[in-house]
Amino acid sequence: MNIMWFGDNPDLMKWTLVRQILKANGANLVYIPYLNENSEVTGRIKDVVDPGVWEYFKSIERLIGLLKVVSRKTKVVWQGFDHSARDTYLRRVVDVVRQRDAGPVVVFFDPDTGIEKGHLGPHHASNRELKTVWERIKPGDSVLLYQHAWMERTWQRTAQKLLDQALGYRGTQVLSLPLVTKSAVLLYAVKG
């Protein structure tokens, strides 16, 4: 997740849905933000914005505050994401998933654009990362993935199929982000 997009309208709806899912399932959250504060887009804008203004609107502390509101028992992979060191990041993710609290858990993957489709870039969750976590969670736990639209009419169905394939699962649900966007959804898979 690029800190640049934190707090925009789609983000508000995304986190509203996450909170509803956690409440409905009595689940705890494991949050995998793919946090990248040093992206080119962030760098260009951050360079011209007053540092105090940036800190107020885009700080990690504000994200931490949000996570406390969403779930009191949230575990987060805070270490910065580096596309060239994905294996290291995945090991950190697996460690955080292992240290989870008792009870059901929702593992929320929040890359900038969603699941890899053909080419794996720094803005994607990889099939390997998703499958590795899926294999380590328990029945009743779930995977939630932020997915941004592709330039195709059936992008939601395509994304749904890709997540099912990555997990070796059938039944991923597509959850819309109401009111603010038709260009993003959450993909939701519950392990049986």
Query: CB under 8 Å to 109, separation ≥6 — which residues?
Result: 32, 34, 125, 129, 130, 133, 143, 144, 145, 146
* pTM attached to this predicted model: 0.87
Predicted local distance difference test score (pLDDT) of residue 2 = 58
> Per DSSP, which regions of the chain are E strands?
28-32, 74-76, 105-109, 114-115, 124-125, 142-148, 173-176, 184-190
- Is 110 within 8 Å of 146 (Cβ atoms)? yes
Distance CA 140, CA 83 (A): 30
Predicted local distance difference test score (pLDDT) of residue 54 = 66
Predicted local distance difference test score (pLDDT) of residue 187 = 97
Q: What one-character DSSP code corresponds to residue 96?
A: H
Predicted local distance difference test score (pLDDT) of residue 76 = 86
Q: Are strands 184-190 and 142-148 parallel, antiparallel or unpaired?
A: antiparallel
Q: Which residues pair with 186 in a beta bridge?
A: 146, 175
Q: What angle do CA 145, 124, 187 make, to 5 degrees?
A: 15
Predicted local distance difference test score (pLDDT) of residue 5 = 62
**Domains plus CATH for the chain?**
3-190 (3.40.50)
Per-residue pLDDT of the chain (192 residues), as tens digits, is: 556 666 677 777 888 899 899 989 899 999 998 887 655 445 566 677 677 776 766 666 777 777 777 787 888 887 788 999 999 999 999 999 998 878 899 999 999 899 999 899 999 999 999 999 999 999 999 999 999 999 999 999 999 999 999 999 999 999 998 766 688 999 999 999
Predicted local distance difference test score (pLDDT) of residue 125 = 97
